[in-house]
Amino acid sequence: MARKAKPFPEEFRLENFKVKGCMSQVWLVPKLDDGKLNYLCDSDAMIVKGTVTLVSDIYSGNTAQEILNNDKNLMEELDLGNILSMNRRNGAYNMLNMVKEHAKIFTGENV
């Protein structure tokens, strides 16, 4: 997954796009295109870059409301609890939460 990630523009390596609680640096940037959220992402660690690319690919192309209405637990569905170390699990959980927080902002819900 990390190898197939799209190039990440340097101008988005900003603190406000960083996923908090990750041991490595992770950026997750929402962009609204024709009513759909699309994500740019990157990390300085290959495994984490693969994880954030997976999260980005899953949620990109959905409206903010579709993201909020999605009640699937990707941590369980993708078995991330067993695949990733505890620290990387926490980071993946924070990535998923950040996607939901972005969706709330784009729908105007209170964050």
Catalytic annotation, residues: 22
DSSP state of 36: E
Q: Is 20 exposed, middle or buried (0-12, 13-18, 19+ CB in 10 A)?
A: exposed
* CA 89 – CA 64 distance, rounded (Å): 24
